[in-house]
Amino acid sequence: MAANMPNTYAGKILRVDLTTEQISKEPLREADLRKFIGGSGLGIKYLYDEVPPGTQWSDPENRLILATGPLGGTQVGGSGTFSVVTKGPLTDGAASSQANGFLGAFLKFSGFDGIVVHGAANRLVYLYVHDGTAEIRNASHLAGKNTWDTEALIKEELGKRKREMSVFGIGPAGENLVRFACIVGDEGHVAAHNGVGAVMGSKKLKAIAVARGKDNVLVKDRTKLNTLARELLEAVRARPGLNVYEWGTSMVYSGLHAAGGLPVKNYTTSIFPEHSKFMGDKIRNSFEIKWNPCWACHMHHCHIMKVTEGPYKGYVGEEPEYEQWASWGSLIGQTDPGAALMLANENDRLGMDTNEAGWVLSWVLECYEKNILTKEDTDGLEMSWGDAEAVKAMLGKIAWRQGFGDVLAEGVMRAARRVGGQAPYLAIHTMKGNTPRGHDHRAMWSMLFDTCVSDIGTDEGASATEPEIARLSAELGPFSPQYISLANAKGKPVRVFDDCLGTCWFNTMGLTGSLAELLKAATGWDFTREEAIEVGRRIVNLFRSFNIRHGHTAELECPSQRYASMPLDGPAVGKHILPVWAQMLRAYYEQSGWDAETGKPLPQTLQQLGLGHVVQHIW
């Protein structure tokens, strides 16, 4: 730990210039840590300060920032989590994405709170972090390797066993600058959103390998921290409804179907009779499983799975999350869980965001069904609903930018515009260029709105399960414009603060008061829930200010025609968000302390949050 640094912080970041191959260590200031905490907060501070307007996502001067948080590497559940922040290729704005696993903890054990990468190498390289230092190594022998093989080969090369090192890298999709390429490590954990893997590929950085290290994470009050961590775990275990602790996120599948929130065949219907086949209790009783938890995690959430029947019998991969089951099940009209597991893992190995990839393929399948695309367009592949092998083949074409895959590698919005005609009317995306998570948001207005107004390339978590937001939902109803605006304005700072700590949201469930107490025990700061909300608001406003400087306007904060369409069947039939969109947008801006017309943070809002230097940049 650096001198005069609060307990639990290493007090240093690692700076890596890939152009000059210079590596240096830079001390952190306690004042900055208290304002931005870590993770996504620290990431946007560096991104805002160092990436000026006009910098393209693929420019060597773009930053790729990996940051853990003050709880990283402690006994708090899932504290191997880290954030990736950069300027992303789907929205041409900020990207922020979290991955679980071990890298966040191992980075702290190696003496660093984060890594800031800039420049671009003249050949494929990987970064090896160990013993309080780092080195850039040749990765030419890893060119074209998938993410799992890359991880295994680097560990073999460096003589490390499975849990002695964490490796996160890119697959062929990242190397080929697929706009929705992601970063994958620790056997299937993913920083997925807004093309962070493409940015890594543009820098010719194949992987970041972090040895476990020998440093300990010091905390101010270890007894108190461990007591609070146990209490939080028990609260998560006892939480009514979704039993993620025991069965993982797949247990939302049937519940979402019942509420109209399961995405089915590119929003052409909301009915998927086979939904129960994808529930965790069914799947785990059908497949062979081996528990594969993240750092300090007691939840029965992640497993290595082996398919035991059907055409993919014997296939072994990481247990898909709900969004993967949705992408490779209902969204593409595919009913075999074994095939869905195969597609989820093949997509991860290629290194692509499962959400954008699923929306791309479901759009292709509908276009093919309606003769907007033909076999000639799809390089001879017959793209029929539920055809897992055709989907697998097209995923490979996308990752390698071969044939029609080169068009699809641009993401749904750009591919649809390239095809033209009726194709754009079937495409599901925000007008900033990213797609939603794996739900039918037409039955989940808060998430639809959140996804469109978000400044990070995915939703910012306005559906966080804080009691205050739950009360608003009960009082006003989930389709109330007033609720949508309030929930987004109040909910985003909650989730954003969570993303700063280096912990997994499924281990905390957005319980901000508990997280503030954990931070207090770890650092010794007199930290309160109110300060946590202020930190969250500061980070939300800085992300927004970054995007405004880089050309985002209020006109982009809306959904595509199909994304905002009215469901024709299912529980949300007849619900239509567009008639109240302008009303909600204006109210959301006002409740956030932003200009009601432009969505720009008002000067007084920025001043109150300690961001006075930003005023001159956006006003």
| pLDDT, tens only, 342-384 | 999 999 999 999 999 999 999 999 999 999 999 999 999 999 9
What is the three-class DSSP state of 503?
coil
Q: Looking up tokens 């009209």, which residue turns up?
A: 333
- Sequence length of the chain is 619
Which CATH number is 441-618's, of 1.10.599.10, 2.40.50.140, 3.30.750.24, 3.40.50.300?
1.10.599.10
Mean pLDDT of 539-555: 98
What is the three-class DSSP state of 313?
coil
Cβ-in-10-Å burial (0-12, 13-18, 19+) of 423 comes to buried
Strands 316-318 and 288-291: unpaired
Q: What is the pTM of this model?
A: 0.97
pLDDT of residue 241: 62
Could you tell me which CATH number the domain at 240-425 has?
1.10.569.10
- The CB-side HSE value for 142 (13 A sphere, CA atoms) comes to 31
Is the pLDDT assigned to residue 303 strictly greater than 80? yes
pLDDT of residue 159: 97
CA distance 328 to 343: 6
Cβ-in-10-Å burial (0-12, 13-18, 19+) of 132 comes to middle
Joined together, the tokens standing for residue 303 give 């497993």
pLDDT of residue 475: 86
290 and 303 Cβ atoms separated by less than 8 Å = yes
448 and 267 Cβ atoms separated by less than 8 Å = no
Averaged confidence pLDDT in the chain? 95
Closest CA to 68 of 117, 102, 17, 119: 102
Q: Read off the pLDDT of residues 493-538 as tens digits, 9 standing for 90 and up.
A: 988 999 999 999 888 876 677 889 999 999 999 999 999 999 999 9
Instruction: Read off the DSSP letter of residue 335.
Output: -
Closest CA to 366 of 437, 463, 441, 265: 265
**Least trusted range by pLDDT, from 47-56, 134-143, 292-301, 303-312:** 292-301
pLDDT of residue 301: 86
DSSP 8-29: T---EEEEEETTTTEEEEEEPP
Radius of gyration for the chain, computed over Cα atoms and rounded to the nearest angstrom: 22
pLDDT of residue 160: 97
CA distance 422 to 276: 34
Question: pLDDT-based confidence at 465, cuts 50/70/90?
Answer: low
Task: To the nearest 10°, report the CA torsion of 133, 138, 139, 140.
Answer: 170
The segment(s) of the chain belonging to CATH 1.10.599.10 are 441-618
Portion of the chain with pLDDT greater than 70, in percent? 98
Mean pLDDT of 318-331: 97
Domain 12-211 has CATH 3.60.9.10: yes
**Least trusted range by pLDDT, from 122-126, 440-444, 515-519:** 515-519
Q: Read off the pLDDT of residues 243-285 as tens digits, 9 standing for 90 and up.
A: 788 888 999 999 999 999 999 999 999 999 999 999 998 999 9
CA distance 334 to 323: 14
Closest CA to 189 of 104, 275, 90: 104
Task: To the nearest 10°, report the CA torsion of 139, 143, 146, 148.
Answer: -20
Closest CA to 11 of 68, 62, 85, 65: 68
Joined together, the tokens standing for residue 320 give 């898909």
Q: Read off the pLDDT of residues 403-428 as tens digits, 9 standing for 90 and up.
A: 999 999 999 999 999 999 999 999 99
pLDDT of residue 4: 65
Instruction: Read off the DSSP letter of residue 189.
Output: E
The segment(s) of the chain belonging to CATH 1.10.569.10 are 240-425
Higher pLDDT, 467 or 429: 429
Q: For residue 181, which phi and psi values (nearest 5 degrees)?
A: -70, 150
Question: pLDDT-based confidence at 489, cuts 50/70/90?
Answer: very high
Dihedral sign computed on CA atoms, order 205, 208, 209, 213: positive
Closest CA to 93 of 609, 550, 586, 465: 550
pLDDT of residue 563: 98
pLDDT of residue 506: 85
The segment(s) of the chain belonging to CATH 3.60.9.10 are 12-211
Q: Looking up tokens 């002695």, which residue turns up?
A: 164
